[in-house]
Amino acid sequence: MQSFKSSIDDWIQNVLSKPSKTFNNLPPCPYAKKAWQDNAVYTHWLDDSFEINTWVRAEIENYTYHWPKGKEVVILGFDYDRISPEQLSNIIDDTKPMLDERGYVALEDHPLEVEQVQDVKLNQGEYALVLLQPKDKLETAREWLEKKNYYKNWTKEYKQEVQNRE
pLDDT per position as a tens digit, 112-161: 999 999 999 999 999 999 999 999 988 888 889 989 999 988 888 877 77
pLDDT score of 154: 85
Instruction: Return contacts of 156-165, CB within 8 angstroms, 24+ apart.
Output: 158/117, 165/92, 165/105, 165/107, 165/108
pLDDT score of 166: 55
Residue 165 above 80 pLDDT? no
Percent of the chain, pLDDT > 90? 82
Residue 74 above 70 pLDDT? yes
Average pLDDT over residues 89-115: 96
pTM listed for this prediction: 0.93
Say how many CA atoms lie within 13 Å of 126 toward its Cβ.
11
